[in-house]
């Protein structure tokens, strides 16, 4: 069962209380581990041993189990992260559209390598895998908010603006907050910015526009079920037909072989 609201080293009583409140949101408290780890990052700037111990104690699981989760997902950081986590997508599509160039330019400009933080503690740079925003390639993310259709020079401008404290707005999202603030949101404590910015960009809406222009509509649930049934029975029939055809061919081949053996 849950431990009392004591205060593990390095975490305030308020944070421990919030960790408990996250665990209490779920019928199975251990389901709260992921947002709890985000809360630890929001206050400690990374996953600390104290944070791991606190989560383990509250959820009545072992520190090894918490550590296993924290080291599995790349959103959990074992090293301190700067004010802005800048992720450059270098997966295939973004890479060929300029993601590799952006990453190289930012490494030079910021004088850091992958997963390293600038000396002023402002920017941590990392290359990231596909963020399901390929229609806006190449994509850069700041604290998990999208910056679409980037170039090497717009990426340099972006990190310069962040380091100078200018207000930066995501292409399809809100004003950019700090990484720790974003981590608190991921822990389930809203910052009121959820409705800022457009929810979807033009590239994502092209399919919808095409469908409307052609008066295409999605089938109802009943129609979809009927279609699936027809498809399934058609597949079963064609499989049965193919099997019967194969049997016939095999029988014909065997007959021919037998006739050949007799004439020998
Ligand atoms: S390859 Fe970059 S978002 Fe998909």
- DSSP labels for 143-171? TTEEE-S--HHHHHHHHHHHHTT---B-T
Spatial separation of the C-alpha atoms in residues 113 and 118, rounded to whole Å: 9
Render pLDDT for 49-87 as a digit per residue (tens, 0 to 9). 999 999 999 999 999 999 999 999 999 999 999 999 999
Res 196 pLDDT > 80: yes
Residue 182 beta carbon below 6 angstroms from any ligand 1 atom: no
Ligand 1 centroid to Cα of residue 98, in Å, is: 11
Residue whose pair of structure tokens reads 């498809």 in the numeric block = 231
Is there a contact between 6 and 16 (Cβ–Cβ < 8 Å)?
Answer: yes
Is there a contact between 33 and 66 (Cβ–Cβ < 8 Å)?
Answer: yes
CATH architecture of structural domain 84-179+190-206 = 3-Layer(aba) Sandwich (3.40)
Is there a contact between 91 and 129 (Cβ–Cβ < 8 Å)?
Answer: yes
**Alpha-carbon torsion 8, 11, 12, 15, what sign?**
negative
Render pLDDT for 108-164 as a digit per residue (tens, 0 to 9). 999 999 999 999 999 999 999 999 999 999 999 999 999 999 999 999 999 999 999
Report the C-alpha dihedral over residues 230, 231, 237, 240, rounded to 10 degrees. Answer: -150
Residue 171 beta carbon below 6 angstroms from any ligand 1 atom: no
Render pLDDT for 73-83 as a digit per residue (tens, 0 to 9). 999 999 999 99
Is there a contact between 150 and 138 (Cβ–Cβ < 8 Å)?
Answer: yes
pLDDT grade for 244, boundaries at 50, 70 and 90 = confident
User: What helix, strand, coil percent values describe the chain, rounded to 5?
Assistant: 55, 10, 35
Domain parsing of the chain, residue ranges: 13-72, 84-179+190-206, 218-264
Q: Tell me the DSSP string of 50-71.
A: HHHHHHHHHHT--HHHHHHHHH
Give the residue-averaged pLDDT of 89-109.
Answer: 97
Residue 203 beta carbon below 6 angstroms from any ligand 1 atom: no
Give the residue-averaged pLDDT of 44-50.
Answer: 96
Spatial separation of the C-alpha atoms in residues 57 and 43, rounded to whole Å: 18
Closest residue by Cα to residue 109 from 97, 96, 122: 122
CATH numeric code, 13-72: 1.10.10
pTM attached to this predicted model: 0.78
Ligand 1 centroid to Cα of residue 199, in Å, is: 18
DSSP-derived letter for residue 29 is G
Ligand 1 centroid to Cα of residue 40, in Å, is: 29
Spatial separation of the C-alpha atoms in residues 126 and 106, rounded to whole Å: 10
Render pLDDT for 207-237 as a digit per residue (tens, 0 to 9). 889 999 999 998 899 998 998 888 888 777 7
Q: Which element (helix H / strand E) includes 230? A: helix 221-263
Q: Rounded mean pLDDT of the chain?
A: 91
Partners of residue 87 on adjacent β-strands: 126, 141
Return the percentage of the chain with pLDDT > 90, whole number.
72
């Amino acid at each position: 069962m849950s431990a009392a609201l004591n205060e593990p080293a390095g975490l305030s009583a308020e944070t421990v209380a919030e960790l408990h409140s996250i665990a209490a949101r779920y019928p199975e408290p251990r389901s709260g581990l992921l947002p709890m780890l985000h809360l630890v990052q929001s206050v400690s700037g990374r996953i600390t041993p104290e944070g791991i111990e606190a989560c383990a104690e509250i959820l009545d699981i072992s520190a090894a189990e918490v550590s296993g989760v924290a080291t599995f997902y790349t959103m959990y950081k074992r090293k301190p992260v700067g004010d802005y986590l800048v992720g450059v997508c270098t997966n295939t599509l973004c890479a060929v559209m300029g993601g590799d160039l952006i990453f190289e330019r930012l490494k030079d400009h910021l004088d850091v390598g992958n997963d390293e933080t600038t000396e002023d503690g402002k920017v941590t740079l990392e290359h990231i895998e596909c963020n399901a925003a390929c229609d806006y390639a190449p994509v850069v993310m700041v604290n998990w908010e999208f910056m679409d259709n980037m170039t090497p020079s717009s990426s340099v401008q972006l990190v310069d603006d962040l380091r100078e404290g200018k207000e930066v707005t995501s292409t399809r999202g809100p004003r950019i907050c700090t990484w720790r603030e974003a981590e608190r949101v991921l822990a389930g404590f809203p910052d009121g910015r959820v409705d800022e910015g457009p929810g979807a960009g033009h590239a994502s809406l092209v399919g919808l526009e095409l469908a409307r222009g052609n008066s295409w509509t999605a089938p109802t649930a009943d129609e979809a079920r009927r279609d699936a049934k027809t498809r399934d029975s058609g597949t079963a029939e064609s499989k049965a037909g193919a099997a019967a055809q194969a049997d016939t061919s095999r029988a014909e081949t065997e007959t021919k072989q037998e006739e050949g053996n007799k004439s020998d």
